[in-house]
Amino acid sequence: MYNRAFTIIELLITISIIGALASIVLGAIGSAKDKAADTAIKGNLDNIRSQAYIYFAENGDFGAKVESSDCTLGLFADSVISSAVADSVAKNGGEEADCVSSGSGSNADSWAISVPLKSDTGDTWCIDSEGIAVQSGIAGVTGTTASCE
């Protein structure tokens, strides 16, 4: 009678092939999760734009000027906006957002916000009151206007 079984070498080769394939799949899944987080951040910022115009319609301006990148003052203190900012920060792993608003009077008539993306920590998504939505932009104030620079 002849006993047919796998040798240790055959088992080790099979296990190493399965391990290599698993590492490739897990790497692809990690990249997809980061891209999904980036999409969520961009969606949150789009929601902020809509809420900012609701805020403007109710208040006649964008609230107190915020020139210190503080996302808890002025327009950014609105509960819907602050919630979207907090969710974006959570999605990118805790990298803080930059929020600014400015104007020629005592209250703001323009605003901008930028949030670092998850897939590339050196990259940001920026939106402003002029309708700009741009990758790699930074929220800042030039003169009396807040915008993505």
Q: Is residue 21 pLDDT above 80, yes or no?
A: yes
Q: Which residue has the higher pLDDT, 72 or 69?
A: 72
Q: Is residue 70's pLDDT more than 90?
A: no
pLDDT for 99? 93
Of the pLDDT bands very low, low, confident and very high (cuts 50, 70, 90), residue 78 is very high
Which residue's entry shows tokens 């099979």?
14
> CB count, 10 Å around CB of 25?
9
Which H or E run includes 139? strand 139-142
pLDDT band at 125 (very low <50, low <70, confident <90, very high): very high
| 50-59, 64-73, 94-103: least confident range | 64-73
CA distance 100 to 76: 9
Q: Does residue 69 register a pLDDT over 90?
A: no
104 has a pLDDT exceeding 90: no
Read out DSSP for 67-135?
-S--TTSGGGGSHHHHHHHHHHHHHTTSPPPEEEEE-SSSB-SEEEEEEE-SS-TT-EEEEETTS-EEE
Q: Quote the pLDDT of residue 2.
A: 67
- Does the pLDDT at position 77 exceed 70? yes
How large is the average pLDDT for residues 80-105? Answer: 92
Q: State how far the Cα of 14 lies from the Cα of 141, in Å rounded to an integer.
A: 60
How confident is the model over 29-45, as pLDDT tens digits?
A: 878 888 999 999 999 99
CB atoms within 10 A of CB 146: 28
